[in-house]
A and B are shown apart, each in its own frame.
Chain A
Amino acid sequence: MENIIEVKNISYQYPSSTSKALDNLSFSVTKGEWVAIIGHNGSGKSTLAKLLNYLLVADAGEILIDGQLVNEANMWTVRNKVGMVFQNPENQFVGATVADDVAFGLENRGIERERMLALVPAALKEVQMDVFADREPTHLSGGQKQRVALAGIIAVAPKIIILDEATAMLDPKGRKEVIAAIRKLKDRLGKELTVISITHDIDEAADADRILVINDGQLVEEGTPATIFSSGQRLLALGLDVPYAEQLKLALKNLDVDVPEEYLDEERLVQWLWQLNLKM
């Protein structure tokens, strides 16, 4: 398997802080993977996102993106390969209208206008925002703005998309729309697209191929959602939530119901409850 992202012994400390935001962190991501990075507030996960495309410069260690070292000489080629959706939908909207915003990344790359005229509507269609092309950002909901931000990234076709808490400021509906749009894109591009989703939202992480748990700048656990969530108590101790199905299991356990130890997603939990009901 080809590693598209390799992070080796990265450390970073903010100038104004006394402790390290990231401390000797290493991990790698294989091409086409969907990786969720979870951790409580201030665990260093957003810092990690900014290090990956050279918005911040690591104090120690090195990062390789698609075989290229992330440094000052390579930063623009790296940023070409990495698209980022940030947390605040309002603050990352550059264009005066939806179409302008989607075109911003293309303009920066010097793409000629004829191609932009084809690429922009196609990207907007992908996130189902094509009817809003001439709207101004003030007339859009948070979820719509995030989908526009995503369209701006789709237009430049990066190999990696990093979602830096992209759904944290959205209502449940907006969150669903954004996740669905990314899912659809990932399904279409398959191995060609790697997704790193940095998130608070445990249900979002449950859909990933692999989860990395970061605590105080260090990688404390990694594995599939099933292995990570089967140790629900440990996550709660780290200040993280567990998925709804796991919460239900814990509540049942407190009522002295004999629940299975391994992680069940909602569908399998429903199956198990049905069977339990039949046995009684």
Chain B
Amino acid sequence: MMSNMIIGRYVPGNSIIHRLDPRAKLILSVSFIILIFLANNWLGYLILGLFTLLAVASTKISLAIYLKGLKPVLWLIVFTIVLQLFFSPSGHVYWAFGPFTVTNTGIINAVYVFLRFLFIILMSTVLTLTTQPLALADALEYLMKPLLKIKFPVYELSLMLAIALRFVPTLMDETVKVMNAQRARGVDFANGSIVKRSKAIVPILIPLFVGAIQRAIDLGDAMEARGYQGGENRTKFRVLAWQRRDSLAVLVFMCVLVILVGTRFLM
């Protein structure tokens, strides 16, 4: 069950993308999502496609892993495409049946929507596959720093995030253990009606919550005993270093942006 989850999984490697500063990767992938909506013609999508493929190829991670990442959102993509395809109000009508019409703009929109989905998912997969969750948390902390001015607890939030990330595998292990223990006592998780299966979740959730709360109490004690007094006045062991390749990545991105804007006005 857990091994199929591709979202949020990190694949170790040493490619150029792996070595980029997490801040650069985070900013660029978020900006990329905005950039996608700038494209409104074939040339624009072609450039975006090439850029995406370039990013995917330079991670040196096998394409199969990316395709696996597409699987969970497949239904959403199909659903949206179908909506676009059959419910377009304008354009040349090819086929009509009751409320359903297929028009040329409908087909084009469907293809555009599909490409947008594809690019967004591929790019965010590039981000998560090449960045350790902890590095992402560090990047978030750095980028949230301006919020300190409005008294937003940035340090506390990033420590919470770092601890949450550190406990994800621990809690996953525990879930599997509790499930196996309940199975050994005869609880069936796979069969029966939806009500029956939901009821079977209770004997997993309760021990998990109790365990998590006990862990939190223990961890709090341990942190206090080690001198934790809150976010202020702490130094950081882990620092992010912005390097030339990061500036270069931003530069490449800017070029794509300029070209894209150009195509929008030229065509």
Contacts and interface: CB of A to CB of B under 8 A. Distances in A.
**Interface class of chain B by DSSP:** helix
A105 to B, nearest CB: 4
Interface stretch (B59-67, B101-109, B223-231): B223-231
Interface residues of B, number: 28
A95 B236 CA distance: 12
Given A55-B221, A76-B227, A110 B233 contact: yes
Nearest to A92: B222
Interface in B161-180: 162-163, 165-166, 169-170, 173
A97 B215 CA distance: 18
Contacts of A156: 226-227
B166 A92 contact: no
B267 interface: no
A136 B167 CA distance: 11
Contacts of A116: 235, 237
Interface in B211-256: 214-215, 218-219, 221-229, 233-239
Contact of B229 (A82, A108, A113, A120): A108
Interface in A102-156: 103-113, 116, 120, 136-138, 149, 152-153, 156
B120 interface: no
A65 interface: no
B134 interface: yes
Contacts of B238: 100, 103
Contacts of A94: 163, 166, 219, 222-223, 226
A179 B225 CA distance: 21
A88 interface: yes
Nearest to A84: B225
A104 B163 CA distance: 12
Contact of A108 (B162, B170, B228, B239): B228
Interface of A: 50, 53, 55, 76, 79-80, 82-84, 86, 88, 90-97, 99-100, 103-113, 116, 120, 136-138, 149, 152-153, 156
